Amino acid sequence: MKRWLATILLVALAALLVGCGATGSVNSADDVQRISLERARQLLDSGDAVLYDTRSAGAYASQHAEGAVSFPEEEAAARVDELPDDGTALIFYCT
């Protein structure tokens, strides 16, 4: 399972986004911090991050990274208030 998680995170690395308690809005891909797989793993293992799967609910139900929370892109605007604002790193992935 860990190998599968590493594989999916590597594939999604191009879309891996993190908001480490930063303020302000995201208007383009240039406004987000990209992190390495190793850094993502450190944050998740330490409990300092939450992993969000931005694929459709059906894709999430079919298979997803261990511990990921379903947060479909098409629902993001309506669900943005669900995201923690306590400084927890938010890691989003899709494939």
Averaged pLDDT of the chain: 79
**Confidence bin at 34 (pLDDT 50/70/90):** confident
What are 38-61's pLDDT values in tens digits? 999 999 999 999 999 999 999 999
Q: What pLDDT is stored for residue 41 in this prediction? A: 93
Long-range contacts of 8-12 (CB under 8 A, 24+ apart): 8/65, 8/93, 8/95, 9/37, 9/40, 9/41, 9/65, 9/93, 10/37, 11/95, 12/93, 12/94, 12/95
Q: What pLDDT is stored for residue 15 in this prediction? A: 39
